[in-house]
Structure 1
Amino acid sequence: MSGERLTIKTPDGEFSAYVARPAAAKAPAVVVIQEIFGVNAVMREITDELAAAGYLAICPDLFWRIEPGIDITDRSKEEWDRAFELFNAFDVDKGVEDIQATVDLIRKDPGCNGKVGSVGYCLGGKLAFLTATRTDVDAAVAYYGVGLDSLTGEAQKITRPLLMHIATEDGFVPKEAQAAIHAALDNHPLITIHDYVGRDHAFARTGGDHYDAGDAALANQRTLDFFKANLG
């Protein structure tokens, strides 16, 4: 396993992605979709951990259209302010297109066996949901996705499995939004939703203010089990 950089070309320009390769010569791939802090140490660590678990993992720089190479933390007010500026400037539709370009590239990689999944956190959780509705990923996982209550109508387009992790005390996803998500998606045959009672947003972000080791481990194991079942 080693970290490397790949370049992904689109009609609008090119951007980079952090890649971690597993020990196996061929493996399923997983696209890691960033939070609002860019491809930072937390995202690179997740990518590395997926490679250690046997996946060809790739984390694209989805903020490249605003500013390439964003790498900030959740440790200061200035960084939080910058993160929300990026979030507000981000074009979700273009972001999904960039994820599809990432999927296309990694699916053709000599180290990929042809299967590709996605996993996203926060903003990335929203994008992971949209990969299930708008791209050809084989399986998707969304951790505490934001704004999903306004996107549930797209669920009719889902043809591959989707796993969702919801924090019941998520400061960015109000109770009424959670209720709307459950009402719209609970009975969908391809969607599995797990609630984490008492947890706040980003409970799986290592080092974050709301990190909970127990539920983070539970969610991460459920994610690995889901990928094993659906990506092989």
Structure 2
Amino acid sequence: MSETLTINTPDGAFSAYVARPKAASAPAIVVIQEIFGVNKVMRDICDGLAAQGFVAICPDLFWRIEPGIDITDQSEAEWKKAFELFNAFDVDAGVTDIAATIAAARKLDGVNGKVGAVGYCLGGLLAFLTATRTDIDAAVSYYGVGIEKHVGEAEKLNHPLLMHIAEKDQFVPPEAQQLILSALKDHPQIEIHIYEGRDHAFAREGGAHYDAADAAKANGRSLTFFQQALA
């Protein structure tokens, strides 16, 4: 079952896609978009999380630039649009909007008070920053781009963070990965998994670098993580 939620902030209102489980009470997970907006991939992730027993909420984080972005990774024109949005995106404002989404999630009927977050690509960076800057109960980052610029924020981390890193990520070169690992691998709240030979977005079903086996492995780890952290 899905619905649209309107989230109000001092800067304006934006929408979020919500998928609900059959359970009357469940933890919530904020699903943080890639650079393609709240598209079918993100909605399918929400629906999948709902089937696993979570209230899944995917906010439209591009609303300050252009509300309602819903594009794919299947054409050159869409990639061009996606990178234009990425370059225009204000990361700090995005984290503020995620914080507003978390607050709204905690008040939603059927949410038991616990809220996690999972993000992909741009959303992987935002999931990391959500873990360090908000009151989220747990966060998962898939192949986050630009995390190496923010590793110093890990000292503010008070809740568990799971990170999935693609070894051959074209957007996170080896030197960036080394910075991330050196800074974060011994942090007591952080669990990191490296996927050897995988490129960026290996878990995006239908994407050019999708790998079913490693996507299933990462998603299984994420599910176990959330079941424990949001219990």
Q: Which residue of 2 aligns with 1:45?
A: 44
Q: Which residue of 2 aligns with 1:185?
A: 184
**Alignment RMSD (CA, Å):** 0.3
One-letter code of the match for 1:163?
L
Q: Distance in 1 between matches of 2:97 and 2:224?
A: 27
Q: Distance in 1 between matches of 2:172 and 2:145?
A: 6
* Corresponding residue SS for 1:6: strand
* Corresponding residue SS for 2:171: coil
Q: Which residue of 1 aligns with 2:32?
A: 33
Q: Which residue of 1 aligns with 2:61?
A: 62
One-letter code of the match for 1:121?
Y
One-letter code of the match for 1:183?
S
Q: Distance in 2 between matches of 1:3 and 1:22?
A: 9
Q: Which residue of 2 aligns with 1:132?
A: 131
Cα offsets for 1:98-149 (capped at 9, x unmatched)? 0000000011111100000000000000000001000100000000000011
Structure 1 segments of 4 or more deviating over 6 A?
none
Q: Distance in 2 between matches of 1:186 and 1:35?
A: 25
Q: Distance in 1 between matches of 2:197 and 2:205?
A: 17
Q: Which residue of 2 aligns with 1:104?
A: 103
Q: Distance in 2 between matches of 1:150 and 1:94?
A: 17
Q: How many residues align?
A: 231
The sequence identity of aligned pairs, in percent, is: 71
Q: Distance in 2 between matches of 1:106 and 1:133?
A: 18
Q: Distance in 1 between matches of 2:100 and 2:208?
A: 33
Q: Distance in 1 between matches of 2:2 and 2:43?
A: 9
Normalised by the size of structure 2, how large is the TM-score? 1.00
Q: Which residue of 1 aligns with 2:92?
A: 93
Alignment of 1:190-209 (within 5 A): 190-209=189-208
Q: Distance in 2 between matches of 1:96 and 1:111?
A: 24
Unpaired runs of 5+ residues, structure 1, are none
* Corresponding residue SS for 2:99: helix
One-letter code of the match for 1:189?
P
